[in-house]
Chain A
Amino acid sequence: MEANETSVPMKIVVAVLFLFLLAPVILVVPISFSGEQILSFPPESWSLRWYAALADNPKMISAFWTSLMLGAIVTLISLAVAIPAAYVIVRMRTMGSTFLYNLFTAPLLLPTIVLGLAILIVFASIGFLGTFTGLVIGHLVITLPYALRVLATTLGNLNLSCEEAASTLGGRPLTVFRRVTLPMMAPGIVAATALCFLVSFDEVVITLFLTGPRLTTLPVELFHHVESRADPLVASVSVLLILLTLAVVMIVDRTVGLSKTFVK
């Protein structure tokens, strides 16, 4: 018997475990087409009523637009801030690059519940709570480390010879960066864009501390909804969210390859 040939019982065990892993995500799809008043599985009747209910729910819709805007702005700022930072840290290697890299990626080491509380206390004293600015800064704290990590990795793996050739031929540093380095970083930039957007769009714990009664994001609104009642509305939102995530992931997969982006 070949040692690395998996036996049939082992295959069944693996299949069952995969089912366990994927069950909650798969389950929301049928639930979203439930015709019942309350959350139940399997539903006794089917309908599109919870998608209609979603369209009639102004709170969810405005939370969705807030999340989308927030994600877009946070992603843009993350790139604008992290690209120069990654360039300095990887290429210029002045003043303790490793220290700076570790410092700027350190927020990922803290649990979001601790980081959220820490930011809440400081933001409360400077009036940032419940404001869009507060949300943007709160999200940047966790998107920037991801962006920096992905971009620094990309830059570190780039072959220097193209940039050297460009500057030998008389290209000014800024021109070399704009015309040679930046285009070569494109896959990393795509990956960082997707990652920042997904992290911001999905962020819930830190956001819970920073949202106010009039300003809330979609994950926070979903959290409060699940906390207070059990109906299939969340399932219909979830299906749309999963489709959105799938779209982002497919774009990344087409442009740079999924495993390169997320497995590292």
Chain B
Amino acid sequence: MTAIAAPSVPAMPRLALGRTGTATLLLLPIAIINAIGFILPVLNLARMSFNEALAGGGVREAFTLANWTGLFGDTFYVELIVNSITVSLGITLATLVVSYPIALYLHRSSGRWRTFLTVLVISPLLTSAVVRTYGWIALLADQGPIVSTIAAMGFSPPRLMFNTTGVIIGLTEILMPYMILSLLAGFGRLDPRVEEAAMTLGAPPARTFWRVILPLTLPGIALGCLLCFVLAVSSFITPKLLGGGRVFLLATEIYDQAIVTLNWPLAATLSMLVLIIFGAALAAYARVLRAID
């Protein structure tokens, strides 16, 4: 953030406390809330992943790797982790494909029309994920408009809900605004004159896209993919509701272990795993950025 780079200030509060004292006093409330609601819980969560889970929801203070080794020794969890990552990658790719044309169109539009379209893109972000998932339940239901249309065309009606397909469709739509805004942020390098030059020199549209437009928009693509992947891996509401308890992903499992099974050490271990996946995604993003430059 460049926003906090402000010049030096002559007028400083000159209370009895002095400069540092005043600053400390003014920062104290936010520091306390940050400590109670963020630092302490996160450190405690990391510690919890090394505790021992007792039957019936108890926790024994320990320093064991049992939760971690148990996770990778259990085929259910190995599958769950692999599944979470592949489904999230699939969602990221799908989101990119459906968002790119909108972002490109927005980038080329201007004036009031552009403002209006931007509001349309942002507005779903301001709508609760529960509401949007509910909308998808209505659309994807067995007697819903999409399944009946497919059936009316003479195909066997597919199941689009309470399975991975439903989760992928719903999350793709829910993550679209993030992808579109990231792509737009990275489209700054895309100058219409460059495209014109390519076309004037005789490049067909498809070739212009693959050789000129796409390479120039790679930074935006990388950013959007990072953001969507990270959000997909950790999303909970949509997989829980559209998966109907039949789709097992990392976030839904964290919730079930924490609330239903009451195995906090396991839930904490799964949470740490999500953070490790975040770190890996960030590292991959940094490598991609370096490769682009």
Cβ distance A25 to chain B, nearest Cβ, rounded Å: 5
By a CB distance below 8 angstroms, the chain B residues around A121 are 41, 44-45, 48, 264, 268
| Bound CA span A29–B176, Å | 21
Asked if residues B11 and A104 are in contact (CB atoms below 8 Å), the reply is: no
Which of A6, A89, A167, A222 is the one whose CB lies under 8 Å from B10?
A167
Which residues of A are in contact with B by a Cβ distance under 8 Å? 1-4, 6-7, 10-11, 13-14, 17-18, 20-28, 31, 39-42, 80-82, 84-85, 87-95, 97-98, 100-101, 103-104, 106-107, 110-115, 117-122, 137-138, 140-141, 144, 148-149, 152-153, 155-157, 160, 163-164, 166-167, 171, 173-174, 176-177, 198, 202, 204-205, 208-209, 219, 222-223, 226-227, 230, 234-235, 238, 241-242, 245, 249, 258-259, 262-263
By a CB distance below 8 angstroms, the chain A residues around B120 are 18, 21-22
Given contacts A141-B37, A219-B128, A223-B237, contact A4 B134 (CB under 8 A): no
For residue B274, CB closer than 8 A to chain A, the reply is yes
| Bound CA span A42–B206, Å | 40
For residue B271, CB closer than 8 A to chain A, the reply is yes
By a CB distance below 8 angstroms, the chain B residues around A18 are 102, 117, 120
Which of A23, A90, A157, A263 is the one whose CB lies under 8 Å from B122?
A263
Which residues of chain B from 1 to 43 have a CB within 8 Å of any chain A CB?
1-15, 19-20, 22-23, 26-27, 29-31, 33-34, 36-38, 40-42
Q: How large is the interface on B (under 10, 10 to 19, 20 to 34, 35 or more residues)?
A: 35 or more
Asked if residues B129 and A204 are in contact (CB atoms below 8 Å), the reply is: yes
Asked if residues A98 and B4 are in contact (CB atoms below 8 Å), the reply is: yes
Asked if residues A6 and B102 are in contact (CB atoms below 8 Å), the reply is: no
Asked if residues A88 and B145 are in contact (CB atoms below 8 Å), the reply is: no
| Bound CA span A117–B236, Å | 12
Cβ distance B93 to chain A, nearest Cβ, rounded Å: 15
Cβ distance B236 to chain A, nearest Cβ, rounded Å: 5
By a CB distance below 8 angstroms, the chain B residues around A122 are 36, 40-41, 44
Which of A10, A114, A222, A263 is the one whose CB lies under 8 Å from B128?
A222
Most buried by A among B13, B141, B177: B13
Given contacts A227-B241, A245-B126, contact A141 B135 (CB under 8 A): no
For residue B196, CB closer than 8 A to chain A, the reply is yes
For residue B275, CB closer than 8 A to chain A, the reply is yes
Which of A92, A223, A227, A241 is the one whose CB lies under 8 Å from B23?
A92
Which of A17, A137, A144 is the one whose CB lies under 8 Å from B30?
A144
| Bound CA span A42–B264, Å | 43
Most buried by A among B8, B135, B176, B241: B135
Asked if residues A138 and B122 are in contact (CB atoms below 8 Å), the reply is: no
Cβ-closest chain A residue relative to B102: A17
Asked if residues A3 and B135 are in contact (CB atoms below 8 Å), the reply is: no
Asked if residues A94 and B23 are in contact (CB atoms below 8 Å), the reply is: yes
The 0/1 profile, CB within 8 Å of A marked 1, for residues 149-161 of chain B is: 0000000000000
| Bound CA span A241–B199, Å | 48
Asked if residues B26 and A3 are in contact (CB atoms below 8 Å), the reply is: no
Asked if residues B267 and A21 are in contact (CB atoms below 8 Å), the reply is: no
- List 11 extra interface pairs beyond A82-B30, A85-B29, A113-B271, CB under 8 A: A6-B105, A10-B101, A22-B123, A24-B173, A113-B236, A114-B275, A119-B41, A141-B37, A156-B5, A223-B237, A263-B122
A-B contact pairs, 15 of them (CB 8 A): A28-B138, A39-B141, A85-B29, A87-B26, A88-B26, A111-B274, A112-B236, A118-B42, A137-B36, A141-B33, A176-B11, A226-B137, A230-B137, A238-B131, A263-B118
Asked if residues A104 and B274 are in contact (CB atoms below 8 Å), the reply is: no
Asked if residues B254 and A14 are in contact (CB atoms below 8 Å), the reply is: no
By a CB distance below 8 angstroms, the chain B residues around A100 are 27
By a CB distance below 8 angstroms, the chain A residues around B34 are 103-104, 107, 141, 144
| Bound CA span A10–B233, Å | 31
For residue B98, CB closer than 8 A to chain A, the reply is yes
Asked if residues A226 and B38 are in contact (CB atoms below 8 Å), the reply is: no
Asked if residues B137 and A242 are in contact (CB atoms below 8 Å), the reply is: no
| Bound CA span A133–B264, Å | 23
For residue B108, CB closer than 8 A to chain A, the reply is yes
| Bound CA span A6–B126, Å | 29
Asked if residues A156 and B126 are in contact (CB atoms below 8 Å), the reply is: no
By a CB distance below 8 angstroms, the chain B residues around A103 are 34
By a CB distance below 8 angstroms, the chain A residues around B37 are 107, 119, 137-138, 140-141
Asked if residues A148 and B101 are in contact (CB atoms below 8 Å), the reply is: no
| Bound CA span A157–B144, Å | 50
By a CB distance below 8 angstroms, the chain B residues around A245 are 126-127
Cβ distance B140 to chain A, nearest Cβ, rounded Å: 10
Cβ distance A191 to chain B, nearest Cβ, rounded Å: 13
For residue B115, CB closer than 8 A to chain A, the reply is yes
By a CB distance below 8 angstroms, the chain B residues around A20 are 98, 173, 176
By a CB distance below 8 angstroms, the chain A residues around B102 are 14, 17-18, 21
Cβ distance B3 to chain A, nearest Cβ, rounded Å: 4
Asked if residues B8 and A4 are in contact (CB atoms below 8 Å), the reply is: no
Given contacts A25-B124, A107-B37, A152-B4, contact A230 B141 (CB under 8 A): yes
By a CB distance below 8 angstroms, the chain A residues around B255 are 113, 208
Asked if residues A205 and B236 are in contact (CB atoms below 8 Å), the reply is: yes
